[in-house]
Structure 1
Amino acid sequence: MTTSVVRWLSRNDVAQTNLPFASALEVVEATLRDHGNGAFENPPKIGVHPKHDAFIHAMAGWLTKQRRAGLKWLAGYSSNHRIGLPNITGLLVLNDPDTGLPICVMDAAYLTAVRAAAVSAITSKYLSPPHVDSIAVIGAGLQGLYHVKMMSLIHPAAEFQIVDINDSAVRRLVEQTNSAATVVHVKEAEAAIRTADVVVTATSRLEDVAFRFEWVKEASLVLPVHVRGWSQDITTASDVLLTDDVEQFKSYIIATGSPYGDISRVLGSVSDVIAGRVAGRCCNADRIAVFNVGLALHDVAMGSAILDIAEQHGLGTIVSY
């Protein structure tokens, strides 16, 4: 039998590829265009839930034009920080579309954080109000950091109001932004949300309501990184309600027992806006909410970009199987 090989990319290997954030934004936008044009397969994620505050999801994607296929196996354990472990862990497997053989297995924690922030940034590019002066980021963890870095590329003149109960986390975030953005620490989420043109809630999974949609001012864009945490009227009082994939969002809401009982007003996806099928922001005063649950397509596309760089620079370990 012929021996096959696969490239293993550890977390350090993935970091060493140093995928430019601008390139990540280009990958995400191109993938959303493919999604909007129907050039994809992205079945709703399936998963198991070993604990009430945890999930392990399988996310498969196939990009027809790019000829990229793969699967991400992602775990989210919100209590892991108590034992010194990351909340999000996972692996991405990329396959040869002609033979089906795996060609790469890589750590998926970094690319998950980067692609989630890149999706928010591209969403903001198309749906934010005409002038963005203030962006509220609730949560100063890894997602908060990457959202500041990505969003600052789309809105370079905006001030970022960071909300976190942990002062040292905010200080670390400021240090790691390398002065690429103007960052201020705001103590209360309500104060930040009431003045923000774009609101990103980048906390870990929340069981209780922490943010009220009534705080959101006219013309603002709301981007929850996790589904929970907002008052129920985010789905009924928003002027426009969108998601990244309507079928997957509805499936996810049912499977996870989301607190949002009425999702009938979901107008379409972000890619529908990019493709011109949905107007998106019809009025400057519209309050828009977008639930980006996470597309496997973005993981496959970004993982493929990381693999290309790794192959060019000989990164990773080649394993025969």
Structure 2
Amino acid sequence: MNGDFAFEIGRLIPPGPEMHIAEHVRVHWAELIAAEREQENAERNRIAALHRQSLEAMRLLALVSNDALTWAKQQFSKSLEDEGGSQDETEYYAVTSGVAGRAIEAFEDIICLLEAGRIDGAHARLRSLQEIFVVTAVIAVHGQPDGEHPNLARAYADHHRVFARSLAEELLATGNVKSQILDEKVLIRLEQMREELIGRYGSEYKSLWGWAVELFPPKTRVTLVRLASLIDVELAALNSIASSHVHASSEGWHAFIAADDDTTGGFDYVSALGSGLFVLTMQCVIPLSISRDGEVDLSGEAWLQSMGHLQSLLTADGAVSGEDPPEACHR
């Protein structure tokens, strides 16, 4: 190799008289931005022309689901107020409806990324949606207030607190947080909170998926794949495929350098699988029917039928074969 390449990683070069923006950038700044925007718009128009029906179906699915979740939350609140719901019931509906709200957010992110031609970014958010689906379904199936694990929703809601002490120490180590804010008294309180949670839920609670330890035999290492198995879903392959777009792995590097300019196949995969996981998540939170005072409200069934119809439009071309929802999600 001819040439001696010098690097100084981490060096900060302060601006000064000898430093200036490259001349062609300074002179043509506006033109560069305009050209970039024109290219982005052309890509959006190309994708819209190829996938107009899918994009419209996804947008409608997100809108309908948001309205359905708002309706469901109103119904939950009404029932809790009328019947004086227990703390377990209150926490259960707060957790499941909140996680479903995150599903809507992730699904809308996927739509925006697909519209912009950012297929790899959409894959990354698809990984988030997979996790959200698993968490929602596991709590919905195994954490019912009147079931065998009524404290599961509370364990999930409390889980972030077990990491508060270590997060505080990490923040202090950056040097960007004043020790007066996170002083010794605060650290002691955070450590006490951590010990109280471990005493309540067990030593395995401090692991990444520790909120679900009560669903497994003692000393089981809980993973996302094992969680998915509780709802009869085989997630390992999907998890691995999406991981390459999330992590800085060799697999992601290979996928990046070998990427073809034509990513339409990726669009079909993400839109079909994403909409399927999204609808399954909403099915865990939107009640099919509500029986109250001798009357049956079937509004939820209408919402879910609308979602199912929109989702079917995204699998009609066979990009991902349609499958029945996991048996565990029927409740």
TM over 0.5: no
Tell me the TM-score normalized by structure 1.
0.23
Structure showing greater Rg: 2
Higher strand share: 1
